[in-house]
Structure 1
Amino acid sequence: MRKTSKKKDLPSPFSLKEILSSIRARKGEPFTLTDVAQALDVDPSRRKDLRQTLRAMVNERKIVRLDRRHYGLPPQEKVIIGRVQAHRAGFGFLIPEDSSFPDIFLSRREVKDLMHRDKVALHLSRKERGRKKTPRVIEVLERANRRVVGRYEEGPKWDRVVPDEQRLVQPIRIAKKASGGARKDQIVLAEITRYPDGMEGPEGKVLKVLGDPGDPRLDSEIIIHKYDLPDEFPSSVLEEASMIPSAVQETRAGKRRDLRKIPFVTIDGETARDFDDAVAISREPGGRLKLWVSIADVSHYVREDSALDQEAFRRGTSVYFPERALPMLPHALSTGVCSLNPEEDRLCMTVTLEFDRRGEVLQADFFPSLIHSHARLTYTRVKKILESDQPDPDTGPPGLYQDLQTMAALCRKLRARRMERGSIDFDLPEPEVILDVQGQIEEIVKRERHIGHQIIEEFMIAANEAVARFLDQRRAPSLHRVHDPPDPKKVEEFKEFVEHLGYPFAVKAKLHPRTFQKFLDRVRGMPEEKSVNFLLLRSMRQARYSESKPGHFALAAEHYLHFTSPIRRYPDLVVHRILKEVLQHGGLTERRTQRWQKKLPAIAEHSSQRERVAMEAEREIVDRKKVQFMRDKLGQEFNGYISGVVPFGVFVELEEFFIEGLVHLNRLPEDHYEFLEKKHTLVGRRLNRVFRLGDRVRVRVEAASLERRQVDFGLVQ
């Protein structure tokens, strides 16, 4: 007869009911041991008993542990589905699909059978019999890593591949006969044939030898394989694309408004090749302005459920590298008949917005159109034209100078209104990799953001909001761009950080984006501006796509979606289809409404996932380029400023190049350093040397490691 173990009582004198009552009073916010102790007025001598009580409550599934300090109430569903975000130290986090629930800490034991980005279900109610402590059950729903890029290492019985992705902490064991001819230290592509199972780590075989480490020509190929990015298009997709005429046939333009005489222009980056949007403006009686935003009508060519559509859905988004792009659509469409190339007729979906003198929308209209782009402008060229005192007849079509001046004036009004309602404007410049004609890195600079960029940014936001508002008013299902309010715990950490910098930050119970924007205005131009912007951005939740409409926090917008980039984003293509249906039929039938409601959740989840993968890939290839750029500068000295402080050293950003590197503790003046976490400061206790955010320093380049994707500096005394 099996013995039944008695459930242990909670340590006296703590009442489970009182503890849960104090927790529920926090209205869903994560809590710590200290929070509960203060709420119940627990004597410090009883803190140990309270900690044991909370552990028992975790085992009983009354609460869940979110990380090493924080706890939370379990969701009512009893099962949390999400993606694993592993850490190179061996532990990890579960990032729930339901963004209303915070990230959940996973111990090393829980992560050992999982891999980074795996989709899992965390069961909070299932228990393993016969154990006093019942570990949480984690069920793998989908393996994210079929193939792995890494460095090949040889061993006496087995070889192995050490993954390039540092969050894949277990090497892939390779049988000698499955080496694919790889040699020691070569970069290879391996396929996983058996996943970790608790007893043994993953096994695999080498599919392809990519080349030798350090070869910059391998960067794109490494990233493509590492993130499993689609490169070549299937033959069925290319065949379907080849059947589409390369030019617009006027007889097939259909019932479209002919806007070819309106002086539309495109404004994009110098290296852009796919042009989604074109804009035009006119001055109307009474001081009103009329803005035209025409977007490539991709849905005219990419029919729902066609081979082109299925491939576009699979890719989700275009991915951009410094030297090349992986387009969502074949080039025949992305840079051909869909792209709003200069001096060519194109099919579009057009939004017209009429504004009063203050920049408030008076009227909006939406319709299919036929346009003709009169000029291909760049952001830099627009800035130059606007800075000139008078029009240059060689700068473009007649009236361009006056139109750009009018666009700039409207842009400033729209921006001011957006800031007034509380929209957050993060000032975080991005790196731009400049390549020479041979494709070698010439320099890495801070990407400019000026009036040329702002004109397009404001006009696209206005068009996106207008379409979202229109579809919501028609009660049509749609794919919304959602940005949830930040996690209160992270806001509290941000508050502690900035107050230690000497900036008081009052947080109200109900968070409003205006609070954060006003604070960013206060630190503008200060040495710690970049660090404050960066930490605030990290405090925010990641934007995502959703079939529901909770709004966009950072934009302070109730209605928002993505409509303006259907050549490179699949959600925009979906929105175009829904908009055209509504315009054509005056709304959606019940059958079509139900069909979209059924399809949109899967499209939203997949598109959000593909966007995150693309962002990681684009960020990593730039990091690799930075390391390569600094490898021939070993021993050189540069001026910079401290951009980050961590327990093991300080990060320094160079003034000459937009590159950040680490000065490790062992390269600081010899001392015993104490890390003051809340003040983001290192203090030498013997020599009293202090290193804090914003301090100017001079550094020497000591190392540039592609394996760690990190540049190491030494401090010049």
Structure 2
Amino acid sequence: MFLNFFPVLSSQIKEQILSIVRKPGYQPLNKSELARDLGIPPKDRAFFRRVLAELVSDGKLVQGKKARYRLPGKQGGGVRFVGTIQFSGERKRKSAFFVPENPDDHRVFREMDRPRIFVPARSTSVALDGDKVEVEIGQSGPPKWHKHSRRHRERSNSGEDRWTARVVNILERNRTQFVGKYFGKGARATLRPDDGRLPPSIRLTEVMPEAKPGDIVVAELVGWDDPFSPPLARMTKVLGREDDPGVDMLAVIHKYGLPLEFPDAVLREAELIDEVIDQEEIDRREDWREKQVFTIDPEDAKDFDDAICVTEKEGGGWELAVHIADVSHYVKSGSALDKEAQKRGNSVYLADRVIPMLPEKLSNGVCSLKPNVERLTHAAIMQFDEKGKMTSSRFASAVIRSHHRFSYEKAFELMQYDEHQIAAIEDEKMRSLAIHLARAWDLGGLLRRRRFANGALDLDFPEVRVVLDEKGRAVGVKRSEYDESHQLIEEFMLAANEAVAYETKNAPAPSIYRIHEDPDPGKLEEFADLARTFGHQVGDVTYRPELQKLLQAIRGTLEEHSVKIALLKSLRRAAYSCDPLGHYGLSKTNYTHFTSPIRRYADLIVHRVLRRILSRRHEPTAPEHPDKTPPQQGMSDIAQHISKTERVAADAEMETQRMKMIEYLERLCSEDDDTVFDATVFEMRPIGAFIELDELYVKGMIRKDDLPPTDEYFFDRVRDEFRSRTMAPTIGVGKQIKVRLYRVNRDRGFVDFVPA
């Protein structure tokens, strides 16, 4: 064949042709059009036609209508991708975004300067939020409404924002269970979901006899094949009336598909675990029972994953031992316990309960590092010099007997003692522990300063949680400061995670890493614009020191929480991966999760990987460890799955906290509580000012219609603020304002305020 005389040239032209037809938005071209686009001169057209013919005969191209060429299986001219669809409407299902699944596709999207592609409402077909879909991507003109928006006209004229996706296939449903309010009867029976990302109405083909209109119910998807008709579902459970105690929490649990019970096989397997540690097992481990190992956890914690022990070395520096519950000793790969833990991915901490990854016998029992009982651990033992630099690390299977269980509050109290106050402690054990805490903070504080000097971002802030009574009703609010006791444990866990990641990264075995990819510069610039509205001088935030400088400037200010939340939204979401890509926020090249195997499956996998590495190192001729770890593809599948379960857990946790916070505010409102709150304005629109309460971190709105008419407020579009024709204060982004509760709509999740 003629092409055989020109194999190199032929191969180059083939790649050039394929690069054109693979581009998103490619419209099928004929031979002449392709030749013109590639700059093929007329004298070489015969050779070019032979190259095209070979691509067709190899199955890499298809010649379609009007002799135009496209990729096989790509109908309609657009290029197809597989990925996830994400609906953006919180209260009304409208448009969506498509995120590709294949890492190679991510690179294509980055070349288009798009981490995701817009899916117009008319092109979402019968997709539901989170579904795995196949889409066709092409180019279209900007939406008509852009011409009415000055902000979008320039972007439209520049040719941006013209890539769109159209759903052509539903490959896998993300969820088939819906929760909402039941209306109507018989053929008119419908469910109205409380999730704005879903269709507004779902027709019920089956209704349970005990259901009454107005009940909160659960339904299972039967089918949906027509985007112009509602989905069909059958009712499977009646949760109760909206105001019945506990129904709100059950609705969230079913909405996110969280498991309420463990399968019988899992519970039976857990019951077979012996709570007494075999002496032979103790003898083969490092014995730390007499060393002063202790835990620091929240006051109400029951699953104690980690314990610490810090020793000051004679020549200077410290030895830090981080002991982590050896869950892998009890949960064997492939067991019923292991399969259920992998399925759950992580524990879920809702406002009124914990949904554990492991049964209580393990999570609160044999694995929990309770004081004064023998427990098995996997230890990371690290050496640090006087400057806080880690000089070496080793790992060991150990047995401990925790000497004390500190709450964060008690540990912080002792950490404030000076030498004289510590010496005055009468109880000898507590005095010794106070000295140990002081020594630990000498190292922890140094590690923290060193970490920020190396570029880590300070994104921590106090936590606010709603206090519930015995019936699950919101009765108060508790604020936990992120003080030195929390920082101490954080630094030690970060050090252990980093040491383990370095170990696994340099071993010939696949593992799981915690990654946080670099942010999109455009998103950071949008964040910088917001920070400037609060009056801060902001440099180039794509340069890490400038970002750190801004975070330092807002520390302790009223707007600190709002600005940090805005920054978090501009960063990519941390996830799990088989590739050790590093962690942007922590500024670490090597990072994994090792320190919480009771509540995270990722950590359990990493424990198994580490044990396998160490076993091979010490006994290279030993047979394969019985607790095998997955190969590369299996590990990648697990990383993808647990990244998803983590997102689900985080969304469910946030939803229950906000739900209970709104319930608490509703109670205050109904009692005509006249409490004045300090708030910060973070966004302005003609309909009102969006604010956040400085102490409770609750977002709400001051509606223009609720402003005092005597103050004659009007919206200044140039300054983007409400101005008064009288002497009333101006309301704009970055302004601090005192407000009172005015209206709480629990159903819609809205909280309205008025100036105090």
Which bracket does the TM-score occupy, shorter chain normalised? Answer: 0.7 to 0.9
- The answer to whether 1:94 aligns with 2:107 is no
CA RMSD, 1 decimal = 3.1
Over alpha carbons, which structure has the higher Rg?
A: 2
Distance 1:190 1:479 in 2: 36
State whether residues 374 and 397 of structure 1, in contact with CA within 8 Å, keep that contact through their aligned partners in structure 2. no
2:137 aligned partner: 124
SS in 2 for 1:399: helix
1:301 aligned partner: 330
Structure 1 residues 602-655: Cα deviation after superposition (integer angstroms, max 9, x where no partner): 001000000000000000001111111112222433232124224232233345
Per-residue deviation at 1:415?
A: 0.3
1:581 aligned partner: 612
Per-residue deviation at 1:599?
A: 1.1
- Cα gap change, 1:61/1:279 in structure 2, threshold over 3 Å: closer, same or farther? farther
1:379 pairs with 408, 416, 421, which one?
Answer: 408
2:692 pairs with 642, 653, 658, which one?
Answer: 653
Distance 1:274 1:705 in 2: 36
2:747 aligned partner: 707
Per-residue deviation at 1:460?
A: 0.1
Structure 1 residues 46-65: Cα deviation after superposition (integer angstroms, max 9, x where no partner): xxxxxxxxxxxxxx999xxx
Per-residue deviation at 1:691?
A: 1.3
- Cα gap change, 1:396/1:612 in structure 2, threshold over 3 Å: closer, same or farther? farther
SS in 1 for 2:631: helix
Q: Matches of residues 600-615 of structure 1 in structure 2 within 5 Å?
A: 600-615=635-650
Q: Structure 2 unaligned runs (5+)?
A: 1-26, 30-35, 39-68, 72-77, 110-114, 141-162
Structure 1 residues 13-63: Cα deviation after superposition (integer angstroms, max 9, x where no partner): xxx989xxxxxxxxxxxxxxxxxxxxxxxxxxxxxxxxxxxxxxxxx999x
- The answer to whether 1:683 aligns with 2:722 is yes
Amino acid at match of 1:205: R
- The answer to whether 1:310 aligns with 2:345 is no
2:5 aligned partner: none
Distance 1:408 1:448 in 2: 17
1:636 pairs with 673, 682, 691, which one?
Answer: 673
Amino acid at match of 1:625: K
Per-residue deviation at 1:536?
A: 1.1
2:202 aligned partner: 172
Per-residue deviation at 1:471?
A: 1.4
- The answer to whether 1:455 aligns with 2:488 is yes
- Cα gap change, 1:502/1:623 in structure 2, threshold over 3 Å: closer, same or farther? closer
Per-residue deviation at 1:499?
A: 3.3
Distance 2:472 2:529 in 1: 45
State whether residues 138 and 164 of structure 2, in contact with CA within 8 Å, keep that contact through their aligned partners in structure 1. no
2:254 aligned partner: 225
State whether residues 123 and 136 of structure 1, in contact with CA within 8 Å, keep that contact through their aligned partners in structure 2. yes
SS in 1 for 2:387: coil
1:273 aligned partner: 302
1:483 aligned partner: 516
Distance 2:645 2:209 in 1: 30
1:187 aligned partner: 216
1:85 aligned partner: 87
Per-residue deviation at 1:594?
A: 9.8
2:143 aligned partner: none
Per-residue deviation at 1:364?
A: 0.6
Q: Matches of residues 126-141 of structure 1 in structure 2 within 5 Å?
A: 136-141=166-171
Per-residue deviation at 1:182?
A: 1.7
Amino acid at match of 1:139: N
Per-residue deviation at 1:349?
A: 0.4
Structure 1 residues 441-482: Cα deviation after superposition (integer angstroms, max 9, x where no partner): 331233211011011000000000000011122243210100
Distance 1:155 1:284 in 2: 76
State whether residues 535 and 734 of structure 2, in contact with CA within 8 Å, keep that contact through their aligned partners in structure 1. no
2:56 aligned partner: none
SS in 1 for 2:246: helix
Amino acid at match of 2:127: L
State whether residues 180 and 205 of structure 1, in contact with CA within 8 Å, keep that contact through their aligned partners in structure 2. no
- Cα gap change, 1:424/1:620 in structure 2, threshold over 3 Å: closer, same or farther? same
Per-residue deviation at 1:115?
A: 1.3
1:621 aligned partner: 656
Distance 1:183 1:642 in 2: 43
- Cα gap change, 1:617/1:323 in structure 2, threshold over 3 Å: closer, same or farther? same
- The answer to whether 1:399 aligns with 2:399 is no
State whether residues 642 and 650 of structure 1, in contact with CA within 8 Å, keep that contact through their aligned partners in structure 2. no
Distance 1:149 1:237 in 2: 27
Amino acid at match of 2:95: F
- Percentage of pairs with the same residue: 36
Amino acid at match of 1:521: Q
- The answer to whether 1:107 aligns with 2:120 is yes
- Cα gap change, 1:643/1:296 in structure 2, threshold over 3 Å: closer, same or farther? farther
State whether residues 531 and 643 of structure 1, in contact with CA within 8 Å, keep that contact through their aligned partners in structure 2. no
Structure 1 residues 414-449: Cα deviation after superposition (integer angstroms, max 9, x where no partner): 000100010001143332122345654331233211
Per-residue deviation at 1:208?
A: 1.3
- Cα gap change, 1:643/1:380 in structure 2, threshold over 3 Å: closer, same or farther? farther
Per-residue deviation at 1:357?
A: 0.9
Per-residue deviation at 1:495?
A: 2.4
Aligned residues: 640
- Cα gap change, 1:701/1:174 in structure 2, threshold over 3 Å: closer, same or farther? same
- Cα gap change, 1:77/1:251 in structure 2, threshold over 3 Å: closer, same or farther? farther
Distance 2:118 2:165 in 1: 13
State whether residues 125 and 167 of structure 2, in contact with CA within 8 Å, keep that contact through their aligned partners in structure 1. no
Per-residue deviation at 1:113?
A: 1.4
Distance 1:137 1:541 in 2: 25
- Cα gap change, 1:61/1:427 in structure 2, threshold over 3 Å: closer, same or farther? farther
- Cα gap change, 1:675/1:552 in structure 2, threshold over 3 Å: closer, same or farther? farther
Per-residue deviation at 1:171?
A: 1.4
- The answer to whether 1:343 aligns with 2:356 is no
SS in 1 for 2:302: coil
Distance 1:287 1:240 in 2: 48
Amino acid at match of 1:641: A
Distance 2:271 2:241 in 1: 37
Amino acid at match of 2:373: E
Q: Matches of residues 180-579 of structure 1 in structure 2 within 5 Å?
A: 180-253=209-282, 255-389=284-418, 390-391=421-422, 392-394=425-427, 396-397=429-430, 399-436=432-469, 439-507=472-540, 511-579=542-610
TM-score using structure 1 length: 0.83
TM-score using structure 2 length: 0.79
SS in 1 for 2:650: helix
